[in-house]
Amino acid sequence: MTEECAECGDQIPSGEWHPVATLRDGDGEMDIYDFCSEDCRSSWQADVASDD
């Protein structure tokens, strides 16, 4: 099983360590997002922050 990078869409082997981020969705539940690299997580977090 693999995860997909929420920023660039690359496949991430689920057995390997990778950066993750959590975000509360509209229902108040925490969604977990997986990233292939710290760069992708930083870029994704900047996008989320600018949506507000």
* Enclosing H/E stretch for 24: strand 20-24
Q: What gap in Å lies between CA 29 and CA 34, rounded to an integer?
A: 16
8 binds Zn ion (CB under 5 A): yes
Supply the minimum distance, in Å, between the C-beta of residue 31 and Zn ion.
Answer: 17
**What is the footprint of Zn ion within residues 31-50 (CB under 5 A)?**
36, 40
Beta carbons of 6 and 22 less than 8 angstroms apart: no
Number of shown-chain residues binding Zn ion (CB under 5 A): 6
The pair of structure tokens assigned to 10 is 């690359």
12 binds Zn ion (CB under 5 A): no
Supply the minimum distance, in Å, between the C-beta of residue 35 and Zn ion.
Answer: 5
